[in-house]
């Protein structure tokens, strides 16, 4: 049996399965108590990794510091049940055992109340640190594999002290194999197989970089340049997007449409399975595939789950996607290869003429909701946040429908008397007049300045290829046609330009998509929708049409708008781009090689 050291922060996970029924209110307070129907104690953090390694049939030596208290006793009892060697744990007289208490509704089997944490905040004492290092020195002479669980989130109190970390860094010279999972300090380790999740990995970048690129793009741009030796490399787990791993080339390993019961413990299973495979002599590719299998098995179970070698062996393999273009995120590689029709959004996807419409609408809405009255700073912030969220969610629908939303907000906040509330058309006219003043000024400049980067080249090739192109916008149709003419793109769409009509019930993007799918019932799978708003992405998802989200920075005309990226990703976009500057790669993805050879550019 292979031996492994697990060292790091050790918690007791206390699960209380409660009932919110049949309880009587307290006589003193009148508050209804929770009735505990079952309680389970389980090792958490380093204890969970130790448990995983034991389930994977390894001999596990756990090193950490726990309190000489009741919670410490429960933790030791739980560890003994899973055959983890606890003889090298340090029992502290000055430090309590960390506890996470989680409340599970016994009816729904879901954690639906705030977690109760009891965590020591004091720094590890010199005496306890000395004992821990002594135990580590004893074990390290005969064991080559070490997993470090550096989970403590507060500045002080973690078991991986500076002294412990310095000792671990020196183990490279002894040819020890180290696997590291660190919540706050992953970049602080000089050597080892490091497994941050995508948020932890992104922390190494400046606020400026994080504001310029989404986390997935930061991983794709930078991970390939880091060390990728067998025992000195970085693997980034990315939640539902799987994991990123470099084995000569950058790849993403993932499962599609996974049913998720509980994500708790999936990262622990990942590093455990990966380490266990390496201990058994498997190559890196198999280890990461098995690690993904283990994580997938874990998220289908309540709590931290049970994953064994046998379960991993029977599990189907994840998909593997080669990251060919680091500036594009492809959530779903199953794009149609024989396109016949594409629906484009207009504003923010093709045109930048209306850049800045969001703050104009936001300012107008705030003034109309408050009636320009003086209100508290707190309430002002609440209203502005709600307006921002509303505009973000409704980007892509007709303007007049957004004005209906405005009237709902005016009525709900009640600052304006009912008789003073205007009609949706009046609010729309007021907003449109301000916006069109800006547009008219811009139309006196060179039109190229107001095109999203690369869009003309992209649609001209599509047009040359005889792909049917549609344009669908929430802006008034006559304005869309006029602005498309100015931008010199109208010619590519012919009569297939659609926008809001006076009778606004006569047009919507959903109605257009529904009609096109019904007319092209055998071809709709060869359609795609491209846009920068959640509305068209959700419509595409509803009809099973492949969607490309354009997370465009409308101020610059190129590059990412990170907030827009996450909205589009959340809406279900299959592919995410910042603009069309990578249009040649897009053409490669959307057409077969035979078709590409016929394309110009």
| pLDDT of 339 | 84
CA dihedral 81, 85, 91, 95 (to 10 degrees): -70
User: pLDDT at residue 459 above 70?
Assistant: yes
Distance (Å, whole) CA 414 – CA 403: 16
Distance CA 262, CA 274 (A): 21
d(Cα 42, Cα 434) in Å, to the nearest integer? 61
Q: Which residue has the tokens 């794709």?
A: 220
Least confident of 11-25, 210-224, 462-476, 556-570: 11-25
* The pLDDT value given to residue 522: 57
Mean pLDDT calculated for residue range 512-532: 80
Say if residue 110's pLDDT is above 90: no
For residue 597, name the pLDDT band (cuts at 50, 70, 90): very low
Mean pLDDT across the chain: 92
Q: Which residue has the tokens 């709590």?
A: 303
- pLDDT recorded at residue 457: 97
pLDDT at 205: 93
Confidence of residue 185 (pLDDT cuts 50, 70, 90): confident
Residue 7 CA to residue 164 CA, distance in Å, equals 10
Q: Which residue shows structure tokens 């920068």? A: 532
Beta carbons of 354 and 347 less than 8 angstroms apart = yes
Please give the pLDDT value at position 173.
Answer: 87
* pTM as predicted: 0.88
% of the chain with per-residue pLDDT over 90: 77
Q: Which residue has the higher pLDDT, 525 or 95?
A: 95
Task: Evaluate the CA torsion angle 459, 462, 464, 466 in order and state its sign.
Answer: negative
Range 332-359 burial, b when 16+ CB lie within 10 A, else e: beebbeebebbbbbbbbbbbbbbbebbe
Q: Helix, strand, or coil here: 78?
A: helix
The pLDDT score that the predictor gives to residue 504 is 65
- Bridge partners (DSSP) listed for residue 85: 61
Q: Are 55 and 305 in contact (CB under 8 A)?
A: no
CB-side neighbour CA atoms (13 Å) of 323: 26
Please answer whether residues 445 and 451 qualify as being in contact, where contact means their C-beta atoms are separated by less than 8 angstroms: no
Structure confidence at residue 293 (pLDDT): 97
pLDDT at 598 over 70: no
Q: Which of 491, 436, 444, 498 is nearest to 473 (CA)?
A: 498
> Model confidence over 240-259: pLDDT tens digits?
999 999 988 999 999 988 88
For the chain, give the percent of residues with pLDDT over 70: 97
Separation between Cα atoms, residue 161 and residue 274, nearest integer Å: 25
Q: What is the mean pLDDT of residues 318-324?
A: 96
- Mean predicted confidence (pLDDT) in 395-412: 92
pLDDT at 592: 63
| CA–CA separation, 47 and 51 (whole Å) | 6
Provide mean pLDDT across the span 208-231: 93
Whether 594 shows a pLDDT value over 60: the answer reads no
Q: Which residue has the higher pLDDT, 485 or 186?
A: 485
Please compute the mean of the pLDDT values over residues 207-214 and round it to a whole number: 95
Band (294; pLDDT cuts 50, 70, 90): very high
DSSP classification of residue 338: B
| Mean per-residue pLDDT, 411-420 | 93
Phi, psi of 17 (to 5 degrees): -90, 110
pLDDT at 541: 92
Q: What is the CA radius of gyration of the chain?
A: 29
CA 86 to centroid of chain Cα atoms: 37
Does residue 233 carry a pLDDT above 50? Answer: yes
At residue 596 the predicted structure's pLDDT band, cuts being 50, 70 and 90, is very low
| Residue 600 confidence class, pLDDT cut points 50, 70, 90 | very low
Q: What is the mean pLDDT of residues 126-150?
A: 95
Please compute the mean of the pLDDT values over residues 480-491 and round it to a whole number.
Answer: 97
């Amino acid at each position: 049996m292979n031996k492994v050291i697990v060292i790091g922060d050790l918690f007791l996970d206390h699960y209380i399965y409660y009932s919110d029924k049949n309880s009587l209110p307290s006589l003193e307070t009148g508050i209804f108590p929770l009735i505990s129907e079952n309680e389970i104690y389980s090792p958490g953090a380093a204890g969970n990794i130790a448990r995983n390694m034991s389930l994977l049939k390894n001999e596990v030596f756990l090193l950490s510091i726990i309190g000489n208290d009741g919670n410490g006793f429960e933790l030791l009892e739980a560890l003994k049940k899973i055959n983890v060697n606890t003889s090298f744990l340090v029992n502290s007289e000055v430090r309590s055992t960390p506890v996470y208490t989680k409340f599970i509704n016994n009816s729904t089997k879901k954690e639906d109340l705030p977690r109760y944490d009891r965590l020591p905040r004091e720094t590890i004492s010199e005496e306890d640190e000395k004992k821990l290092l002594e135990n580590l020195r004893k074990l390290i002479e005969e064991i080559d594999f070490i997993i470090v669980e550096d989970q403590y989130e507060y500045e002080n109190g973690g078991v991986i002290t500076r002294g412990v970390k310095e000792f671990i860094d020196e183990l490279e010279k002894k040819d020890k194999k180290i696997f590291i999972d660190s919540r706050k300090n992953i970049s602080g380790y000089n050597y080892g197989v490091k497994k941050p999740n995508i948020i932890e990995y992104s922390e190494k970048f400046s606020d400026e970089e994080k504001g310029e690129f989404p986390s997935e793009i930061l991983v794709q741009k930078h991970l390939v340049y880091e060390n990728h030796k067998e025992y000195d490399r970085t693997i980034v787990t990315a939640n539902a997007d799987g994991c990123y791993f470099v084995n000569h080339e950058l790849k993403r390993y993932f499962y599609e449409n996974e049913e998720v019961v509980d994500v708790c413990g999936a990262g622990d299973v990942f590093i455990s399975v990966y380490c266990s495979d390496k201990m058994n002599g498997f190559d890196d590719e198999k280890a990461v595939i098995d690690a993904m299998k283990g994580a997938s098995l874990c998220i289908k179970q309540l709590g931290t789950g049970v994953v064994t070698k046998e379960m991993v062996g029977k599990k189907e393999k994840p998909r593997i996607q080669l990251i060919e273009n680091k500036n594009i995120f492809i959530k779903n590689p199953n794009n149609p290869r024989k396109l016949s029709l594409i629906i484009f959004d207009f504003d923010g996807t093709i045109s930048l003429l209306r850049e800045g419409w969001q703050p104009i609408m936001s300012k107008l809405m705030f003034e109309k909701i408050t009636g320009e009255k003086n209100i508290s700073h707190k309430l002002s912030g609440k209203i502005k946040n709600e307006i921002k969220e509303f505009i973000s969610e409704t980007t892509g629908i007709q303007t007049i429908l957004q004005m209906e939303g405005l009237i709902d907000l005016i009525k709900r906040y009640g600052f304006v008397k009912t008789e003073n509330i205007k009609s949706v058309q009046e609010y729309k006219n007021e907003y449109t007049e301000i916006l069109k003043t800006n547009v008219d000024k811009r139309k006196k400049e060179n039109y190229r300045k107001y095109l999203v980067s690369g869009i003309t080249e992209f649609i001209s090739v599509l047009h040359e290829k005889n792909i049917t192109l549609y344009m669908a916008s929430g802006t008034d149709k006559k304005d869309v046609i006029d602005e498309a003419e100015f931008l010199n793109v109208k010619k590519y769409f012919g009569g297939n330009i659609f926008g809001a009509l006076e009778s606004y019930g006569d047009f919507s993007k959903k109605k257009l998509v529904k009609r096109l799918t019904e007319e092209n019932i055998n071809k709709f799978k060869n359609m795609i929708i491209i846009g920068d708003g959640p509305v068209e992405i959700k419509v595409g998802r509803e009809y099973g049409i492949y969607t490309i989200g354009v997370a465009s920075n409308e101020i610059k005309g190129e590059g990412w708008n990170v907030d827009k990226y996450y909205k589009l990703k959340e809406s279900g976009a299959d592919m995410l781009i910042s603009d069309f500057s990578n249009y040649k790669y897009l053409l490669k993805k959307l057409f077969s090689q035979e078709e590409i050879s016929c394309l110009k550019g």
